[in-house]
């Protein structure tokens, strides 16, 4: 008898199915109009525990469910069900390595017309293996994008909406085509927003500064984690305020953070070297703490880690 290879299992139309069976129609509302909300959640494989620890699952699901109201979404699954589905797709897929879990709530009706109310929504969820999304060690070379960050009043950046990633894709592609690793978005008012799919921090005279929640950003769970770790573990002063483009050039350190990016130091912006061109000391300390926390090694934050397998 052939043994089944562990392979990705998806949640689709209320059932767990092999991912290749999870298919939507080309007439799906979300496919036509970008009317989906999603999350990206990491699971870290801990060798010592032989388990996958999902990082801040509750907070990701909470953000998703709160955002339902923006797109008038109603689905039968409650927050607790969505958490269980995220755990279950990983468990059924049998992975024993780093994973990325993607629940998507989308307008699943086959109907015409861009509207949000009165269009049926559904939940699906899949999992893939994922290592580093960007280089976290040597420092990234970054450019300010010619694309502006979309405004929360145009396509809500606060919601992690599928359609809004056209904005991210344009900026990331422009940066990569010009030989950079990543982009920094400015807002329409010229102040800094965030990276293509990550929040941004600067360090200035020992203080940690990031853009505020009402500055056309996705309010990242990693951002909130970094703010808390900086305050509680490193005793740093943290400030949420608008950041000017030129502050990026003159500050001591810059780093990105996000579920995919993790904590990723930046070594240059628009070909201006930041600090001495190496990841700075505060970025490095926060990064190392972050990696310990996500691997379940810091008891105080252990409740942020949800184990997948029951031994």
- Using CB under 6 A, list all residues that contact ligand PMP: 40, 160, 168, 194, 197-199, 218, 220-223, 258-259
User: Which residues fall within 8 angstroms of residue 127, CB to CB, at 6 or more apart?
Assistant: 8, 9, 10, 43, 89, 90, 93, 95, 99, 100, 101, 102
Tokens coding 90: 């990983």
Nearer to ligand PMP, 42 or 92 (CB): 42
Q: Is residue 122 helix, strand or coil? A: strand
Tokens coding 63: 């953000």
Q: How far is the CB of 110 from ligand PMP (least distance, A)?
A: 28
Q: How far is the CB of 103 from ligand PMP (least distance, A)?
A: 12
Phi, psi of 232 (to 5 degrees): -80, -35
Element (H, E) at 11: strand 9-12
DSSP per position, 97-111 = S-EEEEEEEEE----
CB 127, CB 8: distance < 8 Å: yes
Q: What is the rounded (10 degree) CA torsion for 266, 268, 273, 278? A: 30
Q: How far is the CB of 133 from ligand PMP (least distance, A)?
A: 10
Q: How far is the CB of 217 from ligand PMP (least distance, A)?
A: 6
Q: CA-CA distance, 244 to 150, in Å (whole number)?
A: 17
Nearer to ligand PMP, 108 or 168 (CB): 168
Nearer to ligand PMP, 124 or 150 (CB): 150
Q: How far is the CB of 192 from ligand PMP (least distance, A)?
A: 13
- Alpha-carbon dihedral sign for residues 126, 127, 128, 133: positive
8-state DSSP, 89: H
Exactly one of 115, 160, 284, 310 is catalytic; name it.
160
Give how far Cα 28 sits from Cα of 33, 70, 74, 121, Å. Answer: 9, 19, 16, 10
Q: Would you call 160 a catalytic residue per the annotation?
A: yes
Chain position whose Cβ is nearest to ligand PMP: 220
CB 275, CB 284: distance < 8 Å: no
Nearer to ligand PMP, 94 or 260 (CB): 260
Q: How far is the CB of 195 from ligand PMP (least distance, A)?
A: 7
Tokens coding 137: 């060690």
Nearer to ligand PMP, 85 or 218 (CB): 218
Nearer to ligand PMP, 35 or 259 (CB): 259
| Active centre residues (catalytic) | 160
């Amino acid at each position: 008898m052939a043994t089944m290879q562990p392979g990705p299992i998806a949640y689709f139309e209320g059932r767990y199915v092999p991912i290749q069976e999870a298919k939507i129609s080309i007439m799906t509302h979300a496919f036509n109009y970008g009317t989906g909300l999603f999350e990206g959640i990491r699971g870290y494989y801990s060798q010592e525990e032989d388990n996958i620890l999902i990082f801040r699952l509750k907070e990701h699901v909470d953000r998703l469910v709160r955002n339902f109201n923006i797109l008038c979404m109603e689905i039968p699954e409650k927050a607790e069900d969505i958490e269980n589905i995220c755990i279950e797709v990983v468990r059924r897929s049998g992975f024993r390595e780093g994973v990325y879990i993607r629940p998507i709530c989308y307008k699943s009706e086959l109907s015409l017309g861009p509207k949000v109310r009165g269009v049926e929504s559904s939940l699906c969820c899949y999992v893939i293996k994922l290592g580093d999304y960007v280089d976290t060690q040597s420092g990234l070379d970054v450019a300010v994008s010619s694309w502006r960050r979309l405004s929360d009043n145009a396509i809500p950046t606060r919601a992690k909406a599928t359609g809004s990633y056209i904005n991210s894709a344009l900026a990331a592609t422009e940066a990569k085509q010009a030989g950079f690793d990543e982009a920094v978005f400015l807002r329409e008012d010229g102040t800094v927003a965030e990276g293509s799919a990550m929040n941004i921090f600067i360090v200035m005279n020992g203080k940690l500064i990031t853009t505020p929640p009402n500055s056309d950003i996705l309010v990242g769970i990693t951002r909130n984690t970094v703010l808390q770790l900086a305050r509680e573990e490193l005793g740093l002063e943290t400030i949420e305020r608008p950041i000017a483009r030129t502050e990026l050039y003159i500050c001591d350190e810059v780093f990105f953070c996000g579920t995919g990016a993790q904590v990723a130091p930046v070594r240059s912006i628009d070909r201006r070297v930041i600090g001495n061109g190496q990841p700075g000391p505060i970025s490095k300390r926060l990064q190392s703490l972050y990696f310990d926390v996500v691997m379940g090694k810091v008891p105080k934050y252990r409740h942020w880690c949800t184990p997948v397998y029951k031994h």
